[in-house]
Amino acid sequence: MTDMNKNKLRLVFVITAVLLLITEVLIGVYASGWVRSYLGDVLVVILLYTLYRAVFIERPARWFVLPSIILLIAFGVEFLQLWGICDRLGIQNRFMRILLGTSFSAVDLVCYAIGCIPCYLAEFFTKKKKRGT
């Protein structure tokens, strides 16, 4: 991939990440019901994926690695909520409590998995072809 193509691809990921971040903030501030409860969790893993790809344009050797790592991070944060990370560490800052979350939900795990599906698909369908195939 040429430097020009890399820069174009990076720009696509940056723009997508910014739009997703704005959407997440709007959901956090204004939304309620299923949009806040579920859609925000679906979109947050896609946001993490696009942020990573905007910074590190080269993909891992295996197409499934990046989405899997992002899914594990999302699961890890959710299980930290089960452990009560904010209360145990005495985090009082409102932004940090929103960012880390304060209540565990098994449904959130499903939402994160659903959100990773487009990431897996993007990696699979854009994976590098082996030479000679």
Spell out the domain ranges in the chain. Answer: 3-125
Give the C-alpha separation, 123 to 70, whole Å: 13
Give the C-alpha separation, 51 to 13, whole Å: 7
pTM equals 0.89
Q: What is the pLDDT of residues 61-71, one digit of tens each?
A: 899 999 999 99
pLDDT of residue 117: 98
pLDDT of 123 > 80? The answer is: yes
pLDDT of residue 133: 44
Label residue 89 by pLDDT band (50, 70, 90).
very high
Q: Which residues of 40-74 are buried (b: 16+ CB within 10 A; e: fewer)?
A: bbbbbbbbbbbbbbbeeeebeeebeebbbebbeeb
Label residue 58 by pLDDT band (50, 70, 90).
confident
pLDDT of 127 > 90? The answer is: no
- Cα 80 to Cα 76, 83, 104, 118, distances in angstroms: 6, 5, 8, 25
Residues in the chain: 133
pLDDT of residue 64: 96
